[in-house]
Structures are given as structure tokens and as C-alpha cells.
Amino acid sequence: MSIGSYGFRLNLHIENQQEERTGMSYQALARKWRPRDFGEMVGQRHVVRSLVNGLDNNKLHHAFLFTGTRGVGKTTIARILAKCLNCEQGVSSTPCGVCTACRELDEGCFVDLIEVDAASRARVDETRELMDNVQFLPTRGRYKVYLIDEVHMFSGHSFNALLKTLEEPPPHVKFLLATTDQRKLPITVLSRCLQFNLKRLPVGEIAGQLEHILEAEGIPVEEGVTRLISAAADGSMRDALSLLDQTVSYCGDALHLSDVKTMLGTVDRAHIQVLLGALAKGDGNALMARVAVMAGEITDFDDALCELLSVLQRIAMIQVIPGVTGELSPDDEAMAALAGEITPEDVQLYYQIGLMGRRDLPFAPEPRSGFEMILLRMLAFRPVLASTTTNGGTVAERGQTGPRDRNAAVLPVRHSITSPHPEPAPREDAAPNEVTVPDATATPLAASPENWPRIVAGLKLTGVARELAANCAFLECSQGGIRLCIAPAHVQFASANMKEKLENALRSYWGNDIRLTIEVAVPDAETPAGIRQRRSDEQRKAAIRAIDEDPNVQALCEAFDARIEKVTLDA
């Protein structure tokens, strides 16, 4: 061991004595709660399992490489492995923790653990000096362990000086390498090591450890604080513990969610919901007013854009696959309401504009102006409804994206979740079971299963409430009560809030006090949504049949030995 290493250990010992004399004994949580054996490790079970099996079966390689982002446990696992190798009770995956070697390793003063920071010892002469000491036997322990952190910082000549020893070290030497950038390591080094890739820790695992630490430290915490800190840590346990230290200093005796949000500068999801609501209504003034409010609360508009993209992704999941929304969150009802106000195609457009805008945000003159410009693109380039006059009346059609007149920019665009295309104008020969919109001034239809599809079409409902009515089948009307039936696959629409909206709409339609009951069962009758889907399927089949029977298409197939690709046609 070099004199410099001894000097480092001596200085560390002197600093510890000075801290004890001056009463400065507080340890950062990241140091105090560093795991001391494999049983205390949070996550990384795939790495721990391999090391435990190797230690217990005495199948140990001479060089280990731990890779992964910062704070996921690379150096911690390496130190635990060094303790397992040098415990006085013998080599095993469960060191005793009380012998001299274990205690010195925990305190960071074990003479046969040589820790090297490659960033500060990258020169080739320092690497050669280090390798010259490899031949000497350990002073106290069973193995001499070289722990080289950030090994990718070595120069090319330093790697060359390390290679021969790394390939065939003496039997009393183990190499433990750690790096955050595996791509910078030469392939010759990678081929000489057992490689373990440590993963980012999930939010749930980090939050669980933080709750355990706070309980042990006796610090009261409000619900949601640990998950907020864990999300901000971005998969790093060390970052999470550092943020927890900062939170404790900021909040004092108890950790409150509002204080932590202020400290972290976290974007409140309520701001994002207001922004999307303004986009759905085409209200540019409300959009800019909310950005002004956010400017006084948040620290980074890139975080705001990321949160906006996250909410759009969740809305798209609710629209396309309602039953697969992942982990439930407190704002699921607000997400469902936004999913009804914004059309699926608009959600996809907003997401793409936001994704491309995030790439350009660093080039904006100011982050706030760049964020505002992204929102203005979403507002200016969304599709609009163009009105086309026909003999049968006015039919709404999707217009092209692009510049619009000043008044059109503030008109709301709303469609059903499951039917992004507007309903065609009623036909004179429409079948009785097809959905037609009754005249607003006409007498309300009688409550019956036959009239239910037309009643639903005449209700002033939007969003999730409209989907609830469309997916219900009419069962019975008696003594002022209406019984409907909804399939289990669509029960997510039947929340208490949506049921109340449908009940109020029915009261307005008939002008009576209506009591609504919704049962969960497979409907016997066809629902309005089922009718709409059947009509769409029939139109699609008719279009495919027309192509198959077209003489020109048949001639092309015969002349060129071609075949018709059956694709999905929008009704």
C-alpha cells in the first residue's frame, strides 16, 4: 500500500476525532443508512443473488465490474463484497459485522481495502505505482481488495498498465471496478471482468425505504411526501436520501406535502389540467393566464412540459384502452373528464408537438417564452370543425390543420372518446334501430327500449357522461324510476359523478323528477354504442365488398398477379 493511501486513512481518523471533540457528530442520511450487508440492500436483487451464490459456493472471480447511474448502489455493493471476503468468521454472504475486519470496513479504515478514485488518479505513473503494490500480501485481511471508482476516467495508458494485472492477479487480490459510463471502457477490460448492471430503483422501493427511515428517525410525514421525493430522485437512492436530508432541514419537525412541493419546485398537476382544459376550449387567454401563474411557482419549464406529456400519455391510455390505466391515482376522475373533452387525435397531436418542442426548448430565448410557444402551436394547429351545407342540412366535418380565422380559434372542439368522427346527417330511409337526433323542439320520446338510442342522441351530454349513456341498455321505467344496464367491461364510466350527470340530463329531457338506477350485467338489448359500432362495421364491410367486386380492380389483379390488402377503413 502506498504512503499516500496511509495518509488518507490517517487524515480520515483525525477528522473523525475532531468531529467528536467539537460535537459535530451528525451524519448525512445517505451515510448513516448505507447498507452494511446484502440483506439491507434495497433493490438490485439480480446482482445480490449472483454474488450471494458465488460467495456461498466459493466460486469467486478475481475481477468484478459494477455499472449503473449514480446512487444506485455500485460502491455500496463493492464494500459489502469486500467485507464478505475479509470477515474473520470466513468467506460467506453473511459477514458477522462484529469482528475487527467488519468494523474497520464499516468505519472506512480497513488497511487492505484500497479505494481509488480514477478521476483523480488517472495518470499512468500513478496506476503503475498502484500495480507495483499488488504483489505484496495483505497486511490484516484475507484478501487485498482494490476498489476503483469511476474507472472509465482512466487514460488509455493507465488501462494498458492495468490490463496484465487485471487478467492474472495474485490469488490474494480482488478487483472491484465501478463506473457510470460503461461505453468508455475498452473491450479488453470488459472481457476480463464479471459485469453487473445495476438498474434505476422504482419509485415504490425508494418510497418504502424513505418511510422506514423516517419512522426510525421519529419524523412525522404527510402522505404523498415520500413518493414525491422518490420521483424527484429519478431512480437514485442516494439522491433520494440527500433530498430527504434537505426536506428535513427545510420543513423542520414534520414533513408537509405543500412545503416539499415548494422546496422541490414541483409542477402541480392542477396547472396541467387547467392548461389542457383551455386547449380543449380553444381559450388562448386562459392558457396564457395559467402560464403566468405557473411562472411564479415552478423553477423549470422543462419539468412542466414533461408533466404535460405525462398527463397526455395517461389520457391517451384512458381513451384507447380504458381498462389498462396502470396504477390508480387521486386525479383519475379529472383525467377521465379531460379524455372526454379532448379528441383522441388532438391528444396525439399535442403529444407530438410537446415532444418536438422539448427538443427545441433549450434554444428558446427564455424558457417561459419557449413553453408558451409550444402551447400556441397546440392551439393553432389542432384540427377544427368545418361546416358543409348539404340538401339535408348542415353536416360537421373534420377540417385540415393549419391557419384559421380569428373567431374559429376560440370554438371548442369536442367528440366522443370511442367515435372520433362526427355522426353523418340522418337519412330519410334510416332503419328504426339507427340513432337519429330528434328535433330539440319536438315532444320528448316515451321511455322504452326502442326509443332509448334516440333519447340518448337527444341528451345534452359530453365526454364520459355521454359514453355512460351510450353504453347502457334500457331495462324498465316505473313510478318515476329508470333502470339501465351496463356491461362489466364499461363499468368504469358509471362513477357516482357521471351517474348524477346522466340523471340530471334525463330530468331535463322529460321535465320530471327521475330516479336513475344502473345495474352491472351483460345487456340483452343493443346499446346505442353497439348500434354505432354495428353501423360502422357494416359500412366497412360494404366498402371492402365494393373494392373486391370492382371490375377494374379484378382486371389489375389478373394482369399483375396482385392481391388486395385488407386494411381497416374508417366508417
Return the CATH number at 225: 1.10.8.60
CA contacts within 13 A on the Cβ side of 331: 14
Q: What is the pLDDT of residue 412?
A: 36
Mean pLDDT of 503-512: 85
pTM: 0.59
Return the CATH number at 24: 3.40.50.300
Burial of 338 (0-12, 13-18, 19+ CB in 10 A): buried
State which of 197, 225, 251 marks the end of a domain: 197
Instruction: Please give the order of strands across the beta sheet that includes 113-117.
Output: 113-117, 144-149, 173-179, 63-67, 194-197
Model confidence at 4, pLDDT cuts 50, 70, 90, reads very low
Q: What is the pLDDT of residue 331?
A: 66
Q: Report pLDDT digits (tens) over 268-314.
A: 788 888 999 999 888 899 999 999 998 887 778 888 899 899 899 98
| Same domain as 221, residue 188 | no
* Cβ atoms 286, 298 nearer than 8 A: no
In this structure, the chain runs to a length of 571
Closest Cα partner for 228 from 211, 203, 200?
203
Q: Provide the terminal-to-terminal Cα distance of the chain, rounded to the nearest Å.
A: 79
Closest Cα partner for 228 from 270, 272, 261?
261
State which of 197, 229, 244 marks the end of a domain: 197
User: What percent of the chain lies above the pLDDT cut of 90?
Assistant: 23
| Same domain as 366, residue 219 | no
| Same domain as 293, residue 245 | no
Closest Cα partner for 445 from 381, 505, 502, 510?
510
Say which amino acid occupies 560.
F
Q: Report pLDDT digits (tens) over 448-478.
A: 888 889 889 888 888 888 899 999 999 888 8
Mean pLDDT of 200-216: 90
Residue 558 covered by a domain: no
Residue 399 covered by a domain: no
Q: What is the pLDDT of residue 85?
A: 92
Look up cell 496484465; give the residue: 164
Residue 171 covered by a domain: yes
| Same domain as 54, residue 161 | yes
| Same domain as 216, residue 152 | no
Residue 327 covered by a domain: yes
Q: What angle do CA 341, 342, 347 make, to 5 degrees?
A: 160
* Cβ atoms 233, 243 nearer than 8 A: yes
Q: How far is CA 471 from CA 76, 336, 452, 482, 492, in A?
A: 55, 16, 11, 15, 11
Closest Cα partner for 63 from 181, 200, 198, 164?
164
- Give dist(CA 425, CA 391) in Å, integer: 10
Cell of 29: 442520511
Q: What is the pLDDT of residue 536?
A: 86
Number of domains in the chain: 4
- Give dist(CA 475, CA 234) in Å, integer: 51
* Cβ atoms 464, 337 nearer than 8 A: yes
Q: Which domain holds residue 481?
A: 452-525
Burial of 60 (0-12, 13-18, 19+ CB in 10 A): middle
For residues 55 and 130, the model is more confident at: 55
Its sign, for the CA torsion 69, 71, 73, 79, is positive
Q: What is the pLDDT of residue 440?
A: 47
Return the CATH number at 505: 3.30.300.150
Residue 500 covered by a domain: yes
| Residue 338 pLDDT greater than 60, yes or no | yes
Residue 347 covered by a domain: yes
| Same domain as 156, residue 15 | yes
Which H or E element spans position 51?
Answer: helix 45-56
Phi, psi for 69 (deg, rounded to 5):
-70, 175
Residue 410 covered by a domain: no
Q: What angle do CA 61, 64, 66 make, to 5 degrees?
A: 155
